[in-house]
Structure 1
Amino acid sequence: MSAVIEQAVEARLVAPAPCMDVVPAVLGYACADPYAVRMTFPASATLEGVEVVWEFSRELLAAGLEGPAGAGDVRVRPYGQDRTVMEFHACEGVAVIHVRTGELRGFLRRALELVPAGREHLHLDLDGHLAQLLRDAY
């Protein structure tokens, strides 16, 4: 079984204009960083013209499918029966997107099959991370 999961999702940017633009995005999950989920937006979808990656906890994403979750840079909450709102807060402003809840649930199911909840610690390379920190200190 692969140690990395990626899934393209259709995100709709919520803007003051009446229509919502489709924004390509990719959700990512890796055994090597078992607590984190990454959402990557390609350069073509950003104001700065560079790829943007948001990293947040898998637990936050799961909680946000059931009710409002997050108080920091990333916030997630249900929106009706079939959509989930994701907010990304940065110094430059706030981006709000809608993602199909089914896509997020499918992604989380695959991530939980790869690393079950409560078993994340078994996938951490603490010795390797400590060695890297010590190397960087010199």
Structure 2
Amino acid sequence: MNSLVHQTLVVQLQAGDTERCPVFAHLGYDAADPFALTVVFSHDGHVLARWTLDREMVAEGLLRPVGIGDVRLRPVSQGTLDELRIEFLGDPRADGDRHHAVVFAWAPAVAAFLRETHAVVPPGREEFRVDDFLAEVIDAG
């Protein structure tokens, strides 16, 4: 069985007070890091941002608001459209505020991606290899 899952979605990016802009979200999952999802946002062939997200948090974000740190998720319904709202808070700006962006993804597409990851490593069956982690830390010095 393949231990990698990839999916590319078109999502809507809203930065600050701007209108929404379509960008690509390249979702990735690797069973070697079973708790994490990666997402790379791109537009016109340029990488805009890379984030690592907690897989369980994304699943919960489809159902209810979650997150209190740099990433916050919540379901949003607009008529018949169900979206996952993902808010990212970045580095501080010169004015003391923080960079801020919101991404709106079609919730059924995110749920389908999560189902594929669950087929590779079911929730609750993730393993954290402490010995391998400690060996990497020791080797890095």
Which TM class, normalised by the smaller chain length?
A: 0.7 to 0.9
RMSD: 1.9
1:36-75 paired onto structure 2 within 5 Å: 36-42=36-42, 44=44, 50-75=47-72
TM-score between both structures, scaled by the size of structure 1: 0.86
Matched with 2:123 is 117
Residues 40, 50 of structure 2: 8 Å contact kept: yes
Identity %: 34
Residues 8, 27 of structure 1: 8 Å contact kept: yes
User: Cα distance, 1:135 vs. partner?
Assistant: 1.1
Structure holding more helix per residue = 1
Measure, in 2, the Cα distance between the counterparts of 1:71 and 1:44. Answer: 31
Give the secondary structure class of the aligned counterpart of 1:108.
Answer: helix
How many residues align? The count is 131
Matched with 2:76 is 79
4+ runs of 1 displaced by more than 6 Å? none
What one-letter code is carried by the residue in structure 1 that aligns with 2:132? G
Structure 2: which 5+ runs fail to align? 94-98
- 1:30-77 alpha-carbon deviations (Å, 9 max, x no partner): 1010001111113757xxx65521112101101100010111111110
User: Cα distance, 1:126 vs. partner?
Assistant: 3.0
TM-score between both structures, scaled by the size of structure 2: 0.84
Residues 32, 125 of structure 1: 8 Å contact kept: no
Residue 135 of structure 2 corresponds to residue 131 of structure 1? yes
Matched with 2:107 is 101
Give the secondary structure class of the aligned counterpart of 2:28.
Answer: strand
